[in-house]
A = this chain, B = another copy of it.
Amino acid sequence: MGVFMGVCVTTLLREKGFKVTPQRLAIYNVLAASKAHPSAEMIFHQLQPIYPTMSLATVYKTIEILKELGLIQVLNAGEDSFRYDADTSNHPHICCRRCGRVDDLHGVDSTEFVEKVVKTTPYRITGQQFYFYGVCPECAAKE
């Protein structure tokens, strides 16, 4: 899987005229391997030990490219910073009000709800983002 994805990113970057650099692959790999929807800062800190010279600016610039290539989606659950998800399938997210973690919400079908909206609104709809808020099991256990 790692190898396959590596090839994909490499190919996609080259196709669009971007160069393939270790930093870009590393940043994508962090996102692809994580279920925590890391922010730029989180990616930066995770790569710090392996790429001590990497800068936050490079993380942001790379994220911009990955977004452009359609390899990641951007989340904003109402925090001060954006989070990123290499799973570009359209799934809802759930955010813990206590600890701030963001989890995926798979296996819940929203097509019926989306259909109703598409029929109702005068907008031409191109996408959607659903955020749920609450308390995660870990935080609930502490209370």
Contacts and interface: CB of A to CB of B under 8 A. Distances in A.
Interface in A93-143: 94, 96-97, 103, 105, 107-110, 112-113, 116-117, 120-137, 140
Contacts of A77: 76
Contacts of A112: 112-113
Contacts of A129: 78, 130-131, 133
Nearest to A96: B123
Given A76-B76, A92-B117, A126 B97 contact: yes
Nearest to A128: B132
Contacts of A140: 124
B132 A127 contact: yes
B130 A134 contact: no
A109 to B, nearest CB: 7
Nearest to A130: B130
A26 interface: no
A105 B126 contact: no
Nearest to A116: B108
